[in-house]
Amino acid sequence: MNTTNHTSNSSSSKPAKYRRWSATDKATIVRRHLRDGTSQADLADEYGVAPGQISQWCKQALEGVESVFKGATKRAESRHQKELNQKEMKIHQLQEVVSELSTEVLQLKKSNGVR
């Protein structure tokens, strides 16, 4: 675990120790609770973190789930828009070819005296 110990300059005789948990560490703990069913109390004992902190991380993770799917939707929409733009460019190119060929056919008909 990558934790950094910080001490508080409080007036008590024993300084309080604070840990900074990395996003990876938090995710590992939350996954073990949500996916594996390990109790918050057991995880708190194992990692030395307050059960309430684990509860807060779980809540944050669950609230953030929607953003994962929104991001996927935005990527899909962006990919769809790119494909649409490419198809519109191809249509424009084909329309130009049709126009050129129509002009050529018209000129050939005029030169051959065909109406």
**Residue with structure tokens 């110990």?**
5
Q: How far apart are CA 40 and CA 57, in angstroms?
A: 11
pTM of this prediction exceeds 0.75: no
Looking at per-residue confidence, does 1 or 48 come out higher? 48
User: Tens digit of pLDDT for each residue in 11-54?
Assistant: 445 555 678 899 999 999 999 999 999 999 999 999 999 999 99
Enumerate domains of the chain plus CATH numbers.
3-83 (1.10.10)
- 54, with CB counted inside 10 A (0-12, 13-18, 19+), is buried
Q: What is the DSSP string of 5-56?
A: EEE---SSSS--EEEEE-HHHHHHHHHHHHTT---HHHHHHHHT--HHHHHH
Q: How far apart are CA 100 and CA 95, in angstroms?
A: 9
